[in-house]
Amino acid sequence: MVDLRELHVQYVVDDHGNKSGVLLSLDAFDALMEELEDLVVLAERRDEETLPHEQVVDELKRDGLL
């Protein structure tokens, strides 16, 4: 998870000192986009059936993946 305090955000302000934009490093932007993509996948799969951990492990072993 991205720690917002470590993003080193810089704000763009107008003539009145009101924040109107944000500057981020490309690394910070990429990290935020990755987090957003993960949240989208999580939301899309929210209603999917879950399996017990033991069942998943057994299936992975059976398939030679673990």
Between residues 31 and 5, which one has the greater pLDDT? 31
Element (DSSP H or E) covering residue 10: strand 10-13
Residue 6 in this model has a pLDDT that exceeds 90: no
Residue 3 in this model has a pLDDT that exceeds 90: no
- 32 in Cβ contact with 22 (< 8 Å): no
Residue 4 in this model has a pLDDT that exceeds 90: no
- 31 in Cβ contact with 1 (< 8 Å): no
Query: Looking at residue 40, what is its pLDDT?
Result: 97
Local confidence band at 60 (pLDDT 50, 70, 90 cut-offs): very high
Query: Looking at residue 58, what is its pLDDT?
Result: 97
